[in-house]
Amino acid sequence: MSVEIVLAWVVLVVLLAYGISGRIREWLRFRDADSWPVAPVVSTGDIAVESNGDEFLLEVVCVFKIDGRIYTATLKESFGTRRSAEQFAGSIAAGLALQVRYNPVDPDISRVELAASRESEGRSSIAARKAG
C-alpha cells in the first residue's frame, strides 16, 4: 500500500474521531437539560435563514434573564425547504413563545425550546448553543 493511501486513511480516521468526539461532548453537556430550570425568552434578535446547499438553517439570538442578569442563547434549527424555514421564522417574529432551559450552575450553557404551552402544537425541543 502506498504512503499516500495510508496517510489518506489516517486523515479520515482522525476526522471521524474528531466528529464523533464533538457529538459526545455535546451529549454530555446537555444530557440533563430536561431537568434544568426554565426562563422565558424576553426578546429575539434578527432572524437569519441561510442555505448550505442541502438544507436551510434558521438562526436567531434569544435573550433571557436570570436573577436580573442577561444571557443569550442562539437558536439553530435546520429545515428541508426555504419555505418551511421562513414560515418558522415568521412564527418567531410574530411572537411564538420560546423558553430557555439553562444549567443552574452555569447559565451560559443553555438550550432554546418552544414554551411549554405550545409544545403540543409542533416541535417540542429545539437545540441551541450559547451565542459566542
DSSP 95-117: T--EEEEE-SS-TTSEEEEE-GG
The grid coordinates listed for 92 are 418567531
- Give, in order, the Cα–Cα distances in Å from 70 to each of 23, 31, 43, 62, 73: 28, 24, 11, 10, 10
Which of the pair, 69 or 6, is modelled with greater confidence?
Answer: 69
- Where residue 91 falls (left for φ over 0; alpha for ψ -120 to 50; beta otherwise) is alpha
Q: How confident is the model at residue 28 (pLDDT cuts 50, 70, 90)?
A: low
Percentage of residues in the chain with pLDDT exceeding 70? 83
Number of Cα atoms under 13 Å in the Cβ half of residue 26? 11
Residue 118 burial by CB count (10 A; 0-12/13-18/19+): exposed, middle or buried? middle
- Reported as a single tens digit per residue, the pLDDT across 87-123 is 999 999 999 999 999 999 999 999 999 887 544 443 4
Answer yes or no: pTM beyond 0.75: no
Q: How confident is the model at residue 132 (pLDDT cuts 50, 70, 90)?
A: very low
pLDDT of residue 117: 56
Phi/psi for 125 (5° steps) reads -150, 135
Residue with cell 442563547: 73
Cα separation, 113 vs 97, whole angstroms: 9
